[in-house]
Amino acid sequence: MCGRFVQSYELNSLEERFKAIVQRQAAMKARYNVAPGQAAAVILEGPKGPCLDFFQWGLVPSWASDPRIGYKMINAREETVWDKASYRNAIRYRRCIVPVNGFYEWLPLKNKHKQAVYFQHKDGRLAGLAGLWEVRADREGGELFTFCIVTTSATPWMRRFHTRMPVLLSDDAIPDWLNHTLYRPDDLHPLLASSRKIALQAYPVSSRVNRVLYDDPDCVEPVGPSYRDDENPLKRGAESAAHRQIEFPI
């Protein structure tokens, strides 16, 4: 799954990376601990090309009677997204990209505690997560725009940390993911599969990220060694005693 992520980039970097323009003239604050129910930046196809907007994280279908259902729908599983009523129209006609610096997962430790781990592109560049969006009208005539993140089974390397992972779109898949003329499963399956070719790196971070209250650069500060999916942790050199206390599966 994907339960927290980071959006700490400048707007001009989105224009360079995703060719996106800002739809709403709003200053974007750096976020280091985006949580469900909060507004986050998304990129969707607009009349003049990809555009940036801000939607609430947690998909609320147009037919939902209670918007609080969004807290249970922050992720959509790739394996069932085509069949579930909550997602089957969005996967075909309302797709978006969630631009992130990285995302967090929590690794169970032997002492029954969990270690927060931060994941990002191996080269540190921005990642585009596959997302779905919806709009729901309320009784007052307003509209609620929401989104969720598509997840898939973990790659062999990612499985050291978690059984699921968000779909990270490859550079080639990004424009097609926003292309409204592509809506059949045969069109979209290759785009979702492109995630498995992207190399990541991971490192442990402090328990500060466990609390939504904290949303600052300290959330992404390493507290142990980093691992990349093209290297074996067993081959690393000697590490400090503090680093050895962080146990990663290998």
Judged by DSSP in three states, 124 sits in coil
Residues annotated catalytic, as ranges: 2, 105
**Separation of CA 97 from chain center:** 9
Rounded distance between C-alpha atoms, residue 194 and residue 171, angstroms: 9
Query: What is the DSSP-derived secondary structure letter of residue 222?
Result: B
Q: Which residue has the tokens 């996106």?
A: 20
Q: How far is CA 186 from CA 88, 92, 119, 183, 192, in A?
A: 14, 11, 29, 8, 11
Among candidates 18, 49, 54, 51, which has minimal Cα distance to 179? 49
Query: What does the block give as tokens for 93?
Result: 């006609």
Query: What does the block give as tokens for 27?
Result: 């200053």
Query: What does the block give as tokens for 139?
Result: 């009784």
**45: how many CB neighbours lie within 10 A of its CB?**
18
**Contact by Cβ (8 Å): 60, 67:** yes
